[in-house]
Amino acid sequence: MRVIVEPDRDEVGRRAAQFVAELVRRRPTCVLGLATGGTVLGTYAELIRMHREEGLDFSRVVSFNLDEYVGLGPTHPQSYRHFMQQNFFDHINIDVRNTHVPDGRALDFEAHCEQYEKHIREEGGIDLQILGIGGDGHIAFNEPGSSLGSRTRLKTLTEETVRDNARFFDNEDEVPRLAITMGVGTILESRRCLLIACGESKAKAIRETIEGPVTAQITASALQLHREVVAILDEEAARLLERREYYRQVEHAQTLMRSGQMRPLSPTR
């Protein structure tokens, strides 16, 4: 896993947006996997700025969101569809028909989840999956104990997640207890993952994700099995990482290589 530590939340947003923008420019028809939550707001804000000021073009981009609360319709202010419209889609030139968020009011959830997976496959799979992380180390809504091979399905939220997410609702009782979520297996199939974390409250989960064992108790740790994950963290979220100095050296070497000041060793003839 490549680990990038930035000084603060704003820099994290900018850095993550650069990865997305680079892909969108190189492959205008790319498929993005998108996340909700406070952490990704900076990334979306920077992408909106790039769209407005630099003409970053989303017109042919396709997107799939990770999850949605069961019971909340698209216009409910706390639904993830609403979050995406308000914080991203309404401010860029993406075609709303190309944006996909699970339907929290599907009549047949099993069929809907299967269809969601099929749709991702039909679009050629996810090129870049943006991920936040829960305080308990979950990705999307894959709570501790989720199978590391899981697919899109219904999931019961833990008390910790309900408490964490209650800040967006009037009170804790209003937080849905169920969600539709892509599975860990679904996420692992994306070509590249961008894990974003900010703040002290994520430090323990980040340490366990990056330097702990792979375990279904911290579903984000399954990302260690993925071939291309970039973790972008602020200083606070990175605070408990033991190998921080090494990650810094790796980034420094990468910068030197990119600028031509250092070359990778050529194979001996």
Please give the size of the binding site for ligand GLP, defined by CB under 6 A. 14
Does 133 interact with ligand GLP (rule: CB under 6 A)? yes
| Active-site residue identified among 6, 46, 136, 234 | 136
CA distance 261 to 218: 39
**Residue 143 appears among annotated catalytic residues:** yes
Query: Looking at 37, 144, 185, 212, which residue binds ligand GLP (CB under 6 A)?
Result: 37
**Residue 91 appears among annotated catalytic residues:** no
Tell me how far, at minimum, the Cβ of 143 lies from ligand GLP, in Å. Answer: 9
For residues 48 and 66, which CB has a smaller minimum distance to ligand GLP in the complex? Answer: 66
CA distance 140 to 179: 10
Does 38 interact with ligand GLP (rule: CB under 6 A)? yes
For residues 132 and 176, which CB has a smaller minimum distance to ligand GLP in the complex? Answer: 132
Q: Which span sits near ligand GLP by CB under 6 A: 16-24, 133-141, 206-214, 221-229?
A: 133-141
By the 8 A CB rule, do 194 and 187 touch? Answer: no
8-190-180 Cα angle (round to 5): 85
By the 8 A CB rule, do 216 and 149 touch? Answer: no
For residues 1 and 249, which CB has a smaller minimum distance to ligand GLP in the complex? Answer: 1
In the chain, which ranges are E strands?
2-6, 31-34, 62-65, 67-69, 99-100, 128-131, 153-156, 178-181, 192-197, 229-234
By the 8 A CB rule, do 198 and 12 touch? Answer: yes
Query: Looking at 23, 113, 140, 233, which residue binds ligand GLP (CB under 6 A)?
Result: 140
Catalytic residues: 67, 136, 138, 143
Question: Which residues here bind ligand GLP, judged by CB under 6 A?
Answer: 35-39, 66-67, 132-134, 140-141, 161, 165
